[in-house]
């Protein structure tokens, strides 16, 4: 069985995630999660997921976009910014 190479973790989380309202709705509809450690997008995850393991770096920092929005860790920006 092969092991995936782990990506190095950044020194601080990649927050807040910035996305347009349309990108947020797409992420929500697609059940995407974001890793608070490395920024990896993965899915499907539950909208209210907290601390799921990251497929890329292994950190238990993947949260659903609904959770991230509640925590104010997603910043909704205007299109073109």
Residue-level pLDDT at 79:
80
Residue 62 belongs to domain spanning:
17-77
State both tokens at 51.
Answer: 């601390």
What integer is the mean pLDDT of 3-19? 64
58-79 per-residue burial string, b: 16 or more CB within 10 A, e: under 16: ebebbbbbbbbbeeebbeeeee
Q: What is the pLDDT of residue 47?
A: 84
pLDDT greater than 50 at residue 10: no
Domain tally for the chain?
Answer: 1
Compute the CA torsion angle 39, 42, 46, 49 (nearest 10 deg). Answer: -30
- The string of pLDDT tens digits covering residues 68-81 is 999 999 999 998 65
8 in a domain, yes or no?
Answer: no
Domain annotation covers residue 70? yes
Around 60, how many Cα atoms within 13 Å sit in the side-chain half-sphere? 2
The number of beta carbons lying within 10 Å of the beta carbon of residue 29 is 10
Asked whether residue 62 is domain-assigned, the answer is yes
Tell me the per-residue pLDDT of 13-53, one tens digit each, with 9 for 90 and over.
667 899 999 999 999 999 999 999 999 999 999 888 999 99
């Amino acid at each position: 069985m092969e092991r995936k190479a782990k990506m190095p973790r950044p020194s601080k989380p990649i927050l807040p995630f910035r996305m347009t309202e349309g990108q947020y709705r797409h992420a929500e509809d697609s059940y995407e999660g974001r890793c608070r450690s490395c920024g990896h997008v993965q899915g499907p995850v539950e909208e209210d997921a907290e601390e799921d393991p990251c497929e890329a770096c292994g950190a238990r920092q993947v949260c659903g976009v609904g959770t991230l929005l509640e925590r104010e860790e997603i910043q909704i920006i205007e299109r073109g910014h």
